[in-house]
A and B are shown apart, each in its own frame.
Chain A
């Protein structure tokens, strides 16, 4: 038997790892990232002469849990045509037996990296609103994401916001549900839920079962999801994740090195979205997004019962320019009167 040197072992590993694109329209360019189920490569679609992202499973076979999940993910994406959701182009099996799908190649930065470049609170909130738009659209199509977190949001070079990685999506209704159902019973809880991410702890990795099935990310998954109550999950589970995401976005340092301060309204919005009981959260993403819009417009948010002082503070923030203008005018008048009396 031929002895294999360490170099030969490494070469065999590398060679065996590369997807065999023989017979497809794609040409391999480079490895981009590794996920829970497989690897994402940049590839060239030789027919259309464009760059695509090719996601391929580690192991061959079209009938295993992972293969089902990857195919399902592609089908979920196919039914979610929205500017905030990455479009899928193709799904199939490579010559080496591994299931793959191709999608739009998104150039840009992950939100967890990008957020540090956004200075203004309002810009951060507007960015978050676009994530809400995509989630609301998916919910309207009966799809829960179940793994919303900064690492799964991409921000493109023109400011476009895309929600990625729908491998853990749950179909609430519709034809994809049938193929999705068996895999959901495999979900296993490995960790207890933690407090919503404050942006400092290292809880960004998705928890996976031994099957390699992503089931959520501690700090971002709702308590009911972490308990494995799969059947009970609804839009409010994603709302919990969005609340944790909002807290992350708002608490990350700005480019000028400041630690943003959450005012009472934003604190109340995050707390309501991340309430322990689903019934205490926003009932829909639209309702959540509406509170964000109200905040941006300087209106009272539904999550906070305001005191007189809060109302005055908000009134002041909203009409600060006019208030200061009137005050300046009054001061000038008083000074003028005093001057004329002398």
Chain B
């Protein structure tokens, strides 16, 4: 009965693209640039927020340090030292950020970096807005014990934001703008009073259409988020471990 569904489900997932770590270690400049973009997209925001909060650096300094960190990561081959079996990539990167900030020789070295290596637009103003007044309010600065948790949460937020962005593009090209709007209102707005019936009334469609649209959007969101995650993991084992952390499967 369900045998016929097996290939159908399996085909929904494209072949694995291994991996950004290998690409970052590659001698090929184009490959390394691709790795830089992928890593930057997934990690720049948590790194920036972490530098702001953990190291309490002013805005300009934190921006320079964030950009500089990713350049060094690739150029100095820091990822060569990364061993997936021993730690998670984000933990490794956080430790690298700490040692980078500590060793950074202020302005001189930062000036040498020149133009940005990455093609990813780093929206520092947006990140700053998300941080709100945290840097100014000592009570809002996470304790050293919770910094790991903070970094992880920001990393998950960053990953989900990228996946939502991808989903939006996917919906726009596939003429599913309404589906994305429903998804946005129900799952992204954080409004707990919203219901399927309310959405159905608002859009003048049956509630079952809302159910189906949201099921589709969640499925695609999940697929895209996992694809993004797979890109920044170097082994299947690491991918499964991270997927559990990202979706909170470990804690449940």
With a cutoff of 8 Å between Cβ atoms, the chain A residues found around residue B113 in the complex are none
- For chain A residues 42-70, which have a beta carbon within 8 Å of chain B? 58-66
B76 contacts A by Cβ under 8 Å: no
Q: Which of A17-25, A147-155, A264-272 contacts B (4 or more CB under 8 A)?
A: A17-25
Name A186's closest neighbour in chain B (CB-CB): B237
Q: A59-B243, A210-B240 are in contact. Are A18 and B218 (CB under 8 A)?
A: yes
- For chain B residues 186-238, which have a beta carbon within 8 Å of chain A? 186-190, 192, 212, 214-216, 218-219, 221-223, 225-226, 236-237
Partner of A20, one of B130, B162, B165, B219: B219
Q: Are A8 and B187 in contact (CB under 8 A)?
A: yes
Q: A4-B188, A60-B226 are in contact. Are A9 and B9 (CB under 8 A)?
A: no
With a cutoff of 8 Å between Cβ atoms, the chain A residues found around residue B129 in the complex are 3
B13 contacts A by Cβ under 8 Å: yes
Q: Are B9 and A93 in contact (CB under 8 A)?
A: yes
Name B168's closest neighbour in chain A (CB-CB): A2
Q: Are A20 and B240 in contact (CB under 8 A)?
A: no
A98 contacts B by Cβ under 8 Å: yes
Q: How far is the CA of A18 from the CA of B217 in the complex (A)?
A: 13
With a cutoff of 8 Å between Cβ atoms, the chain A residues found around residue B13 in the complex are 60-61, 97
Partner of A92, one of B5, B126, B240, B243: B5
Partner of B12, one of A1, A3, A4, A97: A97
With a cutoff of 8 Å between Cβ atoms, the chain A residues found around residue B184 in the complex are 2
B239 → chain A closest CB, angstroms:
8
Name B163's closest neighbour in chain A (CB-CB): A12
- For chain A residues 12-38, which have a beta carbon within 8 Å of chain B? 12-13, 15-18, 20, 22-24, 34
B244 contacts A by Cβ under 8 Å: yes
B70 contacts A by Cβ under 8 Å: no
Q: How far is the CA of A65 from the CA of B188 in the complex (A)?
A: 33
B125 → chain A closest CB, angstroms:
12
With a cutoff of 8 Å between Cβ atoms, the chain B residues found around residue A16 in the complex are 218, 221-222, 225, 247
Q: Are A96 and B2 in contact (CB under 8 A)?
A: no
Q: A3-B161, A59-B240, A60-B223 are in contact. Are A8 and B189 (CB under 8 A)?
A: yes
With a cutoff of 8 Å between Cβ atoms, the chain B residues found around residue A58 in the complex are 240, 243-244, 247, 249
With a cutoff of 8 Å between Cβ atoms, the chain A residues found around residue B237 in the complex are 210-211
A201 contacts B by Cβ under 8 Å: no
Q: Are A96 and B223 in contact (CB under 8 A)?
A: yes
B241 contacts A by Cβ under 8 Å: yes
Q: Are B160 and A3 in contact (CB under 8 A)?
A: no
Name B220's closest neighbour in chain A (CB-CB): A96
Name A33's closest neighbour in chain B (CB-CB): B252
A7 contacts B by Cβ under 8 Å: yes
Q: How far is the CA of A210 from the CA of B214 in the complex (A)?
A: 33
With a cutoff of 8 Å between Cβ atoms, the chain A residues found around residue B218 in the complex are 12, 15-16, 18, 20
B153 → chain A closest CB, angstroms:
8
Q: Which of A13, A20, A211, A212 has the most CB of B within 10 A?
A: A13
B11 → chain A closest CB, angstroms:
9
Q: Are B248 and A62 in contact (CB under 8 A)?
A: no
- For chain B residues 122-175, which have a beta carbon within 8 Å of chain A? 123, 126, 129-130, 153, 156-157, 160-162, 164-165
Q: Tell me what chain B mostly uses at the interface: helix, strand, loop, or mixed.
A: helix
Q: Are A9 and B219 in contact (CB under 8 A)?
A: no
A11 contacts B by Cβ under 8 Å: yes
With a cutoff of 8 Å between Cβ atoms, the chain B residues found around residue A95 in the complex are 5, 8-9, 12, 219
Q: How far is the CA of A6 from the CA of B130 in the complex (A)?
A: 12
With a cutoff of 8 Å between Cβ atoms, the chain B residues found around residue A97 in the complex are 9-10, 12-13, 223
Q: Are B10 and A63 in contact (CB under 8 A)?
A: yes
A207 contacts B by Cβ under 8 Å: no
Q: Are B241 and A210 in contact (CB under 8 A)?
A: yes
Q: Which of A7, A9, A59, A60 has the most CB of B within 10 A?
A: A59
Q: Are B188 and A66 in contact (CB under 8 A)?
A: no
Q: Are A2 and B164 in contact (CB under 8 A)?
A: yes
B1 contacts A by Cβ under 8 Å: yes
Q: Are B2 and A11 in contact (CB under 8 A)?
A: no
Q: Are A24 and B2 in contact (CB under 8 A)?
A: yes
With a cutoff of 8 Å between Cβ atoms, the chain A residues found around residue B105 in the complex are none
B6 contacts A by Cβ under 8 Å: yes
Partner of B161, one of A1, A22, A62, A90: A1
Partner of B252, one of A20, A34, A65, A96: A34
A200 contacts B by Cβ under 8 Å: no
Q: Which of B2, B165, B243 has the most CB of A within 10 A?
A: B2
With a cutoff of 8 Å between Cβ atoms, the chain A residues found around residue B123 in the complex are 1
Q: Which of A12, A39, A66, A211 has the most CB of B within 10 A?
A: A12
Given contacts A4-B161, A58-B247, A96-B219, 17 further A-B contacts (CB under 8 A): A1-B126, A7-B190, A12-B221, A13-B247, A15-B187, A16-B221, A34-B249, A58-B243, A60-B12, A62-B6, A62-B10, A95-B12, A96-B9, A96-B223, A97-B13, A210-B240, A210-B241
**Which residues on A are within 8 Å of B, measured CB to CB?**
1-9, 11-13, 15-18, 20, 22-24, 34, 39, 58-66, 90-98, 210-212
